Structure 1
Amino acid sequence: MAQTNQYTKILLSKKTGMEVYSYSEGYGKIYDSKNKKESIVDSLGNITFESPHNISQIFKNRFILTVRQSDNKTKSTIIDEKGNQILPLDDQSFNTPWLSKKCIISSKEGKEAVYDYNGKEIISYSDRIRFVAEDRFLVLKDKSWFLYDLDGKQVSNREFKEDYHFENGKALIINEDHQSEIIGKGGQKLHQFSAQIYNLASYPYLITKNRTTGKYGLVDADENRLAEEIFDDAEPEYFGTKEYVYLRKKGKATVFKKKDRKLYPNNFKYLTPLFNDLFTVYSDKLKKSGVVNLNGETIVPQEYDFIQSFRISGKDFIYLKKGKEEKFLDKDLNNILEENTQIIAFYPDQLIIKKQEAYYKFSVTDQSVSPMKDIVSIKEQETNFFNILNLYSKPVVCRNTSNLYGVIDEKGKEIVPFIYDDIIAFENSENEIVVKKQDKYGVVNFQNEPLKDIIYDKYYWQKEVLKLDKDKKSDVLYFTRFKNSGNRL
């Protein structure tokens, strides 16, 4: 049966009688405070290795063992789950910036080398080594950087001045002629520019920066000038469909649309894309939002408290909220909600709505409704929950006709049973929920795994920690972040 790492850690702690303070990919770590030892535990609760020294998990059954010696110096090595050394114990440290499952960088005596997790040397000790792409290193030798692949093969004889980083298989460098150049993962020149390239995130459209004035402009990969270097700042669209580049001058944005390679001057400083060349704009003075098109024409006046785009059943919609008034506009900007209807939750295939004190599942394809039987109330979620990581609503906390609380998911399935006197779901992106029964509190998650027994008198939310009090003593539970992508929790 599938279960979260969080719950597995709790079950293993109960089974071993010691706190399992981390668990991932079939193995965890235990600290025995009595014997002052750290141990590796497998998914069945078996202790596979113990040591008086520090153990850090890299991934699955690979760990770093760090031994502190009598002179207070340390030596380190890579071990497997049984404590077998993959590399010799030495005065070295390890760099795992991406927690790579293929190789690791060892630093020793001011030099660095790359090993795989079976102990094979991939790149011998050099001045410095950097991960620069998922399958590339830059290696510093005699004050020059050289490009290597994951097999330790040098892929280019070309020398680089810096450890440039690759994005989508390309890196922006300053070449030997002090010009901006874009290279591929073989070190080959793809484009060279006379202008100074500032940012390639919108490739093949590139933000330039004038060396003299510091102003920004835009060119294509062939250095055809698309926007003169007259703007105070410029910003690519990093998320979503990435259709635009925003250039700003004197507090007003000009939008470059990639599809038609045209500039659209606008009267607003910041625009957030919706769909079909529509944008939300926010007034700091009014503290309200509206909608404009590419030409800056007002489509929805700046009088709404919240505006957000949602994609439901493969169709695009705009949600608008002003006080108690709510609208849900389709691609033709027609409101598909009946009057006095409230949207409770947004899911990839449907909405949950409230009308005349009753709750319904709402299909956006044919605007049909299906009553949610036995549900008398649903706790609403704050609109500030939605962002690039939380595209849809969490499962909802409901109260039934028996005055008991439970949680249902996006398909209306009960995922936390209706057996509680209250449930508190935090408005941030947390996976933990507090449950109440007979004036006592406990904690479960959205997978209905019991994380803390229902024995506590009070609870407090303190940033990354949930604090629970019982008999003037406190227990803590660290939150795991809840990333809602609209798929299975």
Structure 2
Amino acid sequence: MIRKLRFVLLLLCTTLTLSATNFASADTTQIHASITPLNYSPVRPQSDGTFHDGLLFAEQSNGALVYYNTKGKLAFTLPANVKPLGDFLGQRALVRNIDTNRYGYINTTGKLVIPCTYLEAGYFSEGVAHVTMANSNEAFIDRSGKVVTTLQQKYSSEYIFSEGLALAYAPRGNKIGFINTSGELAISYKYTYARGFSEGLAVVQNSEGLYGYIDTRGKQVIPFQYKSAGDYSERWAPVQSTKGKWGFIDKQGKVVIPYKYNNAHGFSEGLATVYNASGHVGFINPKGTLVIGYQKYNRAFPFKEGFALVGVVTKSDPSGKFGYIDRQGKLLTKLAYQSASSSFNNGYAVALKDRGTGYILTKRP
């Protein structure tokens, strides 16, 4: 049975409505929306709704699960008894043979390159995937299907590795630790909450509900002292003081941008999302300068390839309406979209107008 991911998908999954128009930004970069609608809905939670390896995992209006290429065409057709289960990661996608109920992997041409022989299987991360073999032994395999590690004990884990470590959950007591790709418990079960490693550090929470950071050896680098905290990105991390305001710290725990925001998210492409007391969104640079001022938007996602998705959510419209802005804060599309559209990846994104109707977006100079 496929494992459900417990971590939040960080890439944009937002429902967008785009007209078939070119939208020019201040630096002449354009977003081109496909003229022909795509028979598309995102597949949750197995997909983040983003193109991976040039392919988009999609559910059609008849319930069929398919992969589209960047031109909006079906990339390939799988045999009727092979069901796709998720995004491509490392040029491999998980599939299940519905006749045998066994799992395997296809490549980006739809070829079954790792046969459906596993009782259970997970997604590839950092070149390995966790599988349960026919004899019930558990192992990590590489992209060719070769066993690289045979596990000597069972773990409760999604086996999503970042910087060589994956979250693991204690059999009893609800504590969290980390395992390595050798199948060892590298950091013991002692945290009530944890996130994957980013730039050498991971957010962890103690039994008192305070957050701090550890390194990949499990050493406490920044003490438990924050009400909440985010991942490191571009050297800094957003943290919330015990008084409730958000600021940013460096990897020594020094405050580099003061605690003055009602909420904040990490840096991406040199800009970080911050929220003021009214709940409106702005973007700051690493000096703490507000370079995209607070406007009417009260939701925002990180910049990716020069664009960020922003929107307005209200009590009367809890799904909200979203559109893309450029790095100057100029709105390039109408605010007409929902929040499950994707970020750009290698120049392409997908915008969902209604369930079953999407548009492929192309970044053009």
TM-score w.r.t. the length of structure 2 is 0.48
Higher relative contact order (CA 8 A, sep 6+): 2
Q: Normalized per residue, which structure has more strand? A: 1
TM-score w.r.t. the length of structure 1 is 0.38
